[in-house]
Amino acid sequence: MAITGFNDKSRVNHEGRPHSDELHVVERIRRLDQQIMEDVIPISDPKAYTQKFMTARKLILKPGWNIVEFICEDNDTLLDYQKTAGVEKKQ
C-alpha cells in the first residue's frame, strides 16, 4: 500500500523525525510462514532526507487474532482503536 498526502501534524517515527509534503511511504506485509508475518516500510522524502530509509518488523501471530486493515489518521483514532482492541499501553 503506497501512502502520500501527509499533513504537517505527523512524524515519520516515534523519535519524531519530521517530513515534507513529498513524504512517500510504502507498506508491504507478507506472511513468512504459518505463524510469522513481516511488515516492511520503505520511506522516502527527497525534501527532508538525502536517501531513503526503511523499517521492518516481524510479527508472531497469536491464536484468536483478528487481522484487519487499519489506517492511522491521527493519534486519537489510534489510541481509541488500541483501547477497543485491548492493547495495553507500555510505560
DSSP secondary structure letters along the chain? -EE----TT--SSTT-----TT-EEE-EEEESSSSEEEEEEEEE-TTT-SS-EEEEEEEE--TT---------SHHHHHHHHHHHTPPPP-
pLDDT digit string, tens, across residues 38-78: 999 898 999 989 999 898 999 898 888 777 776 655 555 55
Q: Are 61 and 35 in contact (CB under 8 A)?
A: yes
Q: Are 56 and 40 in contact (CB under 8 A)?
A: yes
pLDDT digit string, tens, across residues 8-47: 677 777 777 888 888 888 889 899 998 899 999 898 999 9
Cα–chain-centroid distance for residue 22?
17
